[in-house]
Structure 1
Amino acid sequence: MEGKRVQDSEVVLAQIMQPESANILGNVHGGWIMKLMDEAGAIVASRHARRPTVTVVVDSIQFCAPVHVGDLVHVRARMTQAWRTSMEVEIRVEAEDLLTGERRLTATAYFVYVALDRDGRPAPVPPLILETEEERRKAEEADQRRAERLARREARGTQ
């Protein structure tokens, strides 16, 4: 299977935040931001695998700042690593004040997706071609997170 570059599947989604997505203080609900993050991540994973994908892990989500009604939200998602049937996607959310142009980081996370075949079973994915030092570093960090996730899963299974 031929490898694919990080840039071949990355995506940026942008959306104006509306009042129906917010609480009474005008802050957008974290669940709404998570939905946008999952949509962006699934697009990246499906573009990389060229197969349907399902979310299997949401890892290390951090909400850094609130998103307000009227902000333009940018959700940037890109591959960090591809294994046999699973892929990790890094997702960063920024909110932009359209009147000032100020952007602030509002959330980050790593989502893991599994590619599916026609029968709904895990399917092989292409390897990730790492072209820059940053991409190689992020891939190593993804491998470490994966090892930690697998160790936690194994520990739960033995209890």
Structure 2
Amino acid sequence: MPQPKFARESMTVMTEMVLPNDTNTLNNLMGGRLLHFMDIAAAIAAQKHSNRIVVTASVDNVSFAEPIRLGNIVTMKAQVTRAFSSSMEVFIEVWAEDIPAGVRVSTNSAFYTFVAVDQSGRPIEVPAVVPETDEEKARYDSALRRRQLRLVLAGRMKAQDATELKSFLNQD
């Protein structure tokens, strides 16, 4: 089994400028382009954690809270929250910044799941995550519920077997 790694070791910050080819007819960053940026940043975090080639397995709900405009600087911060046998959950946060105006806003966040693979494309074991901060611990603790929900929604787990998810939903 690979040696466990601290969550902070996977921290990845990626910055892009929104250029004309990235925008729609309203001069806002196209959603698909943002998802492309987010996938790259999250994949880098997963690769840093696993030291392996990774493939995207799933992306949780992504809501577009604020438009990102032409000329804005987009900053993405991604970090592995928890690892399972060959998969890793990565949390990513996105901000848009209008540097001349001095305005920075949170625009998106999402959880991505990646699977580490060997050179033949077969899943391979990844290190466990060691959370340190309160925020890292909270994301680590809730990751199993999110994983079970993903598996139930994908038809890969029966709802009655999702014990963490059931106990969370049955809270009084």
Common fold by TM > 0.5: yes
Instruction: Give 2:129's aligned residue.
Output: 128
Q: Distance in 2 between matches of 1:62 and 1:129?
A: 29
> Any unmatched runs of 5+ in structure 1?
none
Structure 2: how far apart are the matches of 1:49 and 1:156? 25
Structure 1 residue ranges (4+ consecutive) displaced by more than 6 angstroms after TM superposition: none
Per-residue displacement from partner, 1:23-62 (whole Å, max 9, x unpaired)? 1111110000000000000000011000000001011212
Correspondences of 1:1-159 after superposition (within 5 Å): 1-154=2-155
Indicate the RMSD between aligned Cα atoms, in angstroms.
1.4
1:3 partner letter: P
The percentage of aligned residue pairs carrying the same residue is: 37
Measure, in 1, the Cα distance between the counterparts of 2:55 and 2:156. 24
Hey, what does 2:163 align to over in structure 1?
A: none
**8 Å Cα contact 2:151-2:157 kept in structure 1:** no
Name the count of aligned residue pairs.
157
Which amino acid is 1:137 matched to?
A
Instruction: Report deviation, 1:100.
Output: 2.0
CA deviations on 1:86-130 (whole Å, 9 max, x unpaired) are: 000011110000102211011111100000012210000000011
Distance (Å, rounded) in 2 between the aligned partners of 1:153 and 1:111 = 15
Stretches of structure 2 that go unaligned for 5 or more consecutive residues are 159-172
SS of the equivalent of 2:66 reads coil
